[in-house]
Every structure is written in C-alpha cells, then in structure tokens.
C-alpha cells in the first residue's frame, strides 16, 4: 500500500518542505556526540551536553558520532556568523545567573534574523549558546562523574522537562516581563538577594527575546516595503503585523499563537536541546475556534500553519489526545488537524498520540493508519492511562497528574510542574554483575542466594555513587547553566525567584534513570543460575575466563549459555525472573533520594548506548559476544525472540510499566505484514489496543524492509534511499545519514512479517 494521503500540499508548503528535506540531506540538521562513552553513560567528562556541530568548542570531526538529523537548529555557518565575543569572555566568567543572562542576551542580540521566501511562521537559529559560553561543571563534579562512570553510572542534567506554553500564550512576552518585574521588586523589598538577582537575570533574558521578536518584525516590514509581488508583499506584511503585535501583546489569533510558540522554542532551545512542548490540541483549540467563528481561519488553513511549524523543527514532541481534567476524552478538532498536518508531510517528526480506554475510536484508528502508512514511527503511540498512573504512583497530586504529556524519546512529565531530569541519566547494571563474578569466582561454597546478595550490594554501591554525582550536579546546575527561558513558562520559578533547575522551584523533582541492557542482564543472571549454580556444569572461574576471552575456544560453552531460555518468548520461567530483577532495581532506586527531596525512578530504556556499549563492556553470560550490541531498551536481545511478535509482546507486558518511567516497545514490521490494498489503521489499532490493554506504555512502530535498509546502508547515494526515515529508538532520523554503527544495529533487529 502506498504511503498516500488525501491532503495536498500547497505550492507554498511544498517549497518549504523541499527546503526542509534539503537541509536534512545536506547534514544541516545533524546532532553529534563526542564519543561512545557519552551514549552509554550520558556523560563524557568533556562537556555537559551534546557535541556542537560547529563553533569554537566542537570536538574533532573524526571522533564525533553522528546520531542523524535529530536536532532543532540549522547548522548553516556562513552567512550566519558565529557569535564570538561574549561578555563573559571580555569582562570575565562567573557562576551566577546574571553573568549567564548577559551572555544569553548578547548571543540573541547578535543572532541572525532571516525570513525565508514563502514562510508565514518565521524564525530559526543557527548556533547554540554552549558553543559560545563556557559550559563545564567544577572539578569536584567531574571527579564524581568519573567515579560513577567507573562503577557503571553517569548522567547530565539539562533541558528535559515540559514547560506550560499556556502561560506564555496567555501573558505574551510583555506580560511575562511585567510578572518578572513585579516579583523582582517584592524580593528586593524582602531583601532576598538571591531571588532578586535571579529575577534580574530573567529580566535581561526576557527583554532580549522581545528585542529579537522586534528585529523580525522590522525585517518583515522592510521586506514588505520593497516587495513588488502583491502576494509576497501581503505575506511579509502579515509576518510584520504578527511580530509587532507579539512584542507588546499576547497572541490574539491562531497564526500568532503558532508564531509565539516558534519564538519560544528558538529562545529556549538555544540554551539546551531536549524539552517537550505539551498538548498542542489543548493549547490551540480556543485560538482555532475563535478564528473560525470570526471567519478568518479554515480547517485547511490551520492544517497548513501547523505543518509549517513542523517543518521548522520536526514537531518537537507535541502530544495529542489523552484525557481532560475530568478524565474524559480530550480529543478535539485540533487533535485531528495536528495529525492531518503530519499526514500531509510524512517523514521526520516527533509527535505523540496519547491513547486511553475512552479515546474517540475514529481519531485513534486514523492516527494508527497514519503510523502504518508512513511507516516511520510517527506519531508515537503512548498509553495515557499508564503515564498518569505512573506519575500518581510516584507521588504526584491528582491536579498535576492529569495534565501529562509525552515529552521525549520515552519519557513524559506533568506540564509546567515538574523538572524531571529525564532521559539523561544512566545505570549500567552489567558492570556490578561483572564485578561480582570477579569477586566470587574463587569461592567454591557460594550459593545462588549469596551471589545475588553480592550483586545487590554492588548494584547498591553503584547507585549510591550515582546519587552523590547527581546531587552535586543539582547543587551547581542553577549556577552553571540556568534554564531561564524554560522557567518563564513553569509554575513556580518566577514566583519563587528560583531557576527551574533549583531546589524548591517547582512542585516535582524526581530523578529518572535509564537502565541499560536489562534483557542482557536478566538473560545472563538466569543462565548463571541454571548452568553454574543449579546444574553446576561450569564454575564462575570458567565463565569469567571465557567472558574475558570473548568466548574464544569456548564455543560449546557459549552455545549452552546462549540456548538457555531467553526473555521475549513468553516463557514464564525467564520472564518472571526478569520481572523479579526489574522489581529489585526499581525498589532499590526508589530508596534513593535527591537533595530536592524526591526519589529516583528507573526507565527501562536507553537512548542509543546499547549500540556502542558492547565492545566497551565485553562479552556477557547470555552468550553475547563483545562486538554485538546490547538489547534496545526492554526489547529482547536481537534475534532471541523466536516465536514471533505475539509471544514477544506477552513477555514485554508482564512488567507493570506504571511502576517505571517509560519502556518503549520497538517494532519493525515488514510491509508484507499488512494485507495489500487494505487500510492499515484497523490492523495497527487492534494490535496497539491489545498491547495497551495489557499495560504497555509506548509503541514505536516502523514499517520497513530491513533488507532494503541494508542495501541503503551500502548505497546511501541512491536517490530512492535518501528520504527513508526510521524511528531509531525514541527519535526519528533519516536512515542513510546516521552513523554506520547505528545502521548496522538497526538492520539486525527482527523484521516481523506476521503475527
């Protein structure tokens, strides 16, 4: 079945779409990391964020790893000059918010303002602040980071939350500035120096954003005055009018609201990559209905405007669907239009549709049909009921937990009321397991329970070091890299005179930790229990030697460990054991607390570390060789789920995902899975309903022929391959532009052709 859509792009949108594709295919939207360690531990010791693609602090081009076009900015270089002479480099650097704000304002004031032919929503950025401003934690933090990494943990804290854009849409930039000044004066009267200085910094940042918007207004006005083409003249005048209004007022129309949202994303993502932006259908529905009532907006126009916003930065994790505050279905006209806008474009995007048991069945089937037709994991399908239950279980109030949004790769959070530190912390429990094997190999009298007690002790030691590292990071975070733009649209930071990253700034501050290689860990421990302790076919000393030698000259032994029952085949013995191990990890993490007073939470997912961790960690007792990748998230290790997709799904959903902070079910369906000529929505929705009814939390669904992708890997210059987009883990990217090792891992996945 063709990836057809009934929505035709106008000539204007077609032109903007073509430009977007050219940017991606010319590596202008790529994101990099410095080294494999960053992927495995979310921390490298060199920097606190992703590797800049360009600029003064860029890593050696030969060392960097390309994740693909998973970025919001455009790496254009000239003629958009890099901002070099930052105030902190001229007058001196210090760890304080005003010093940061002065740099931010200077950076934004000197950023290029460009309006492209045919656009009505304007604004994009070409450089990030961490390329121009010193971004590194003090040595005490670095030392703790290296200690954590040695034991099997790591992480950075940056820009992984979900601001409440309704605050800014209601107040506008000028209203936000008035709010800052009002609270600033209060803290001055109270002689609260810290809060007063923070709000001075927030004032500098907000003023610079207003100047930035005004520069776009002036630029558009000049273009309109010099334009002879009537259509273009009208378009430039529209941009100018919208931007001038946004300088002084909150948005009053649907198009102005989208323009405001785009400026907010620019202003925020210059500081850091990674936030979600909430529930688009709830944010925009009143603007839409009012403009339709006035006769200045149609459904078709709204669809085009949203599509244009998507073409800016790929959607940036907006959500649709879910429930309202009374827990009724929240689907509305904008839910449909938002998904239709993606359907019109296809390809790269980071949207999510939030299922629940009462969702509008027609809308849900349509969203599933879009996933099936386009075949690249967009929109992501997530279970709102599990998201909400997970947050309530963590300790959220009912009034916060309902307004939750899918906000990133596998994570979610309460909109505007949580700084969740998501997706950027790592725990590698295989490392404590290796240490226990090493310690215990000479202890002939050791029993299985003793082995697991030792493992628990080593795992606890690793967790404690992670807690120390994260708490030291939290102590420094508001001084090193305050997220002031994010703070503008959160409930609490301005009122409390504290950055969103600071203690007591917002209501919820849980620390979430991605746990790497859980299926490998559980399969390994199960094999050790069966072959070493129960059957006593091998000793820990023999196993240790075989692992250190990557199973060389021990193929018979490797095959015995490899052929033990494996997670992913609906075998209760190993599946129940897996649930026990995951429960142990969860309960141990929940006993740990950060300095903000909140516990740690496990996420059964890891961004891309599973691809590179294999050689770093070595062979594992599940029969895996060192050169092989680890399992992706909680999905079974590549090729070990022998029985098909249904047994795999049953194993996967034996875990209670409300007890965890994410765990996406990754599926690569072969196109032959679907009957030819029949709508795919019914098949995808029936399958997704079954998973969600069993408690699954997220589905990333690609429809791909992995043999085609393998050919694309070897022949990336073929024109028919350049447009292939896949859902890699929690993000989408053009396949042929990813790092070769990512491609090789992807094509080793199971390509399901039937149930």
Mean pLDDT by 10 residues, the chain (755 residues): 74 95 86 86 72 54 77 71 90 96 97 95 91 90 96 93 97 98 97 98 98 98 98 98 98 98 96 92 98 98 97 88 98 98 94 98 97 95 98 94 95 94 93 97 90 98 98 96 98 98 96 97 98 97 97 98 98 98 98 97 92 95 97 94 93 97 94 89 95 97 95 94 92 90 93 84
Instruction: Look up tokens 């929940």; give the residue.
Output: 590
Is 367 within the bounds of a domain?
yes
Is 683 within the bounds of a domain?
yes
Is 10 within the bounds of a domain?
yes
- What pLDDT is attached to residue 274? 86
Phi-psi region of 739 (alpha: psi -120 to 50; beta: other; left: phi over 0): beta
- What pLDDT is attached to residue 61? 64
Is 479 within the bounds of a domain?
no
> CA quadruple 219, 221, 223, 226: dihedral positive or negative?
negative
**Residue range of the domain that includes 282:** 1-30+278-406+670-755
Is 393 within the bounds of a domain?
yes
pTM of the predicted model, to two decimals?
Answer: 0.96
Is 18 within the bounds of a domain?
yes
Compute CA 661 distance to the chain's CA centroid, rounded to the nearest angstrom: 13
Is 64 within the bounds of a domain?
no
- Bond preceding residue 339 cis, omega within 30 of 0: no
- Tell me 629's DSSP state: P
> CA quadruple 569, 573, 578, 579: dihedral positive or negative?
positive
Residues 6+ apart with CB under 8 A from 102: 87, 88, 204
Is 707 within the bounds of a domain?
yes
User: 58, 732 in Cβ contact below 8 A?
Assistant: no
Phi, psi dihedrals of residue 329, rounded to the nearest 5° = -60, 130
Q: How many domains does the chain have?
A: 1
């Amino acid at each position: 079945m063709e990836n057809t859509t009934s929505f035709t792009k106008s000539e204007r949108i077609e032109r903007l779409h073509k430009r977007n594709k050219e940017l991606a295919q010319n590596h202008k939207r790529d994101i990099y990391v410095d080294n494999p360690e960053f992927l495995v531990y979310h921390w490298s010791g060199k920097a606190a964020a992703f590797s800049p693609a360009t600029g003064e602090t860029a890593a050696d081009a030969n060392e960097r790893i390309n994740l693909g076009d998973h970025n919001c900015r455009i790496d254009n270089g000239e003629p958009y000059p890099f901002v070099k002479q930052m105030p902190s480099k001229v007058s001196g650097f210090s760890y304080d918010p005003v010093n940061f704000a002065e740099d931010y304002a200077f950076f934004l004031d000197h950023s290029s303002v460009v309006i492209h032919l045919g656009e009505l929503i304007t604004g994009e950025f070409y450089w990030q602040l961490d390329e121009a401003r010193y971004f590194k934690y003090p040595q005490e933090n670095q030392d703790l980071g290296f200690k954590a990494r040695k034991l099997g943990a790591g992480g950075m804290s940056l820009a992984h939350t979900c601001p409440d854009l309704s605050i800014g849409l209601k107040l506008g930039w000028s209203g936000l500035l008035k709010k800052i000044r009002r609270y600033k004066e209060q803290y001055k009267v109270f002689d609260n120096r810290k809060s007063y200085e923070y709000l001075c910094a927030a004032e500098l940042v907000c003023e610079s954003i207003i100047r930035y918007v005004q520069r776009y207004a002036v630029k558009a006005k000049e273009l309109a005055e010099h334009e002879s083409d009537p259509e273009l003249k009208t378009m430039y005048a529209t941009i100018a009018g919208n931007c001038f209004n946004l300088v002084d007022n909150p948005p009053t129309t649907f198009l102005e609201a989208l323009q405001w949202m785009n400026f907010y994303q620019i202003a925020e993502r210059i500081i850091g990559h990674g936030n979600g932006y909430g529930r688009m259908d709830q944010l925009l529905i009143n603007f839409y209905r009012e403009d339709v009532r006035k006769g200045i907006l149609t459904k078709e126009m709204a669809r085009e405007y949203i599509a244009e916003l998507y073409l800016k930065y790929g959607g940036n994790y907006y959500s649709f669907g879910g429930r309202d505050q009374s827990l009724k279905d929240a689907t509305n006209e904008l839910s449909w239009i938002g998904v239709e806008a993606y359907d019109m474009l296809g390809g790269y995007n980071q949207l999510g549709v939030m299922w629940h048991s009462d969702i509008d069945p027609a809308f849900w089937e349509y969203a599933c049909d879009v996933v099936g037709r386009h075949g690249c994991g967009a929109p992501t399908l997530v279970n709102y009921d599990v998201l909400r239950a997970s947050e309530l279980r963590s300790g959220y109030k009912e009034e916060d937990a309902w307004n939750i949004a899918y906000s990133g790769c596998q994570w979610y959070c309460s909109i505007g009321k949580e700084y969740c530190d998501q997706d950027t912390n790592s725990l590698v429990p295989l490392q404590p397991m290796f240490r226990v094997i090493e310690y215990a190999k000479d202890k002939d009298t050791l029993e299985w329970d003793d082995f697991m007690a030792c493992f628990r002790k080593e795992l606890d030691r690793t967790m404690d070091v992670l807690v120390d590292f994260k708490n030291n990071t939290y102590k420094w975070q508001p001084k090193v890299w305050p997220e002031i733009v994010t703070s503008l649209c959160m409930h609490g930071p301005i009122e409390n005179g504290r950055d969103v990253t600071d203690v007591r700034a917002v209501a919820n501050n849980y620390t979430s930790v991605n746990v790497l290689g859980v299926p490998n860990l559980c399969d390994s421990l199960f094999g050790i229990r069966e072959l070493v302790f129960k059957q006593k076919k091998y000793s820990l000393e023999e196993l240790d030697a075989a692992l250190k030698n990557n199973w060389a000259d021990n193929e018979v032994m490797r095959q015995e460990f490899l052929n033990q029952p494996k997670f992913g085949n609906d075998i209760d013995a190993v599946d129940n054991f897996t649930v026990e191990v995951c429960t142990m990890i969860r309960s141990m993490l929940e006993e740990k607390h950060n300095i903000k007073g909140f516990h740690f939470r496990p996420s059964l997912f890891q961004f891309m570390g599973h691809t590179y961790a294999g050689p770093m960690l070595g062979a594992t007792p599940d029969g895996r060789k060192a050169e092989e990748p680890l399992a992706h998230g909680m999905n079974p290790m590549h090729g070990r789920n022998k029985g098909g997709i249904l047994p795999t799904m049953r194993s996967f959903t034996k875990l209670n995902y409300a007890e965890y902070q994410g765990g996406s079910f990754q599926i690569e369906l072969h196109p032959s899975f679907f009957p030819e000529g029949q709508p795919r929505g019914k098949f995808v929705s029936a399958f997704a309903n079954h998973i969600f009814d069993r408690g699954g939390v997220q589905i990333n669904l690609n429809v791909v022929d992995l043999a085609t992708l393998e050919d694309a890997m070897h022949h990336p210059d073929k024109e028919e391959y350049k447009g292939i987009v896949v859902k890699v883990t929690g993000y989408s990217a053009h396949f042929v532009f990813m790092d070769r090792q990512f491609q090789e891992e992807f094509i080793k996945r199971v390509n399901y052709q039937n149930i």
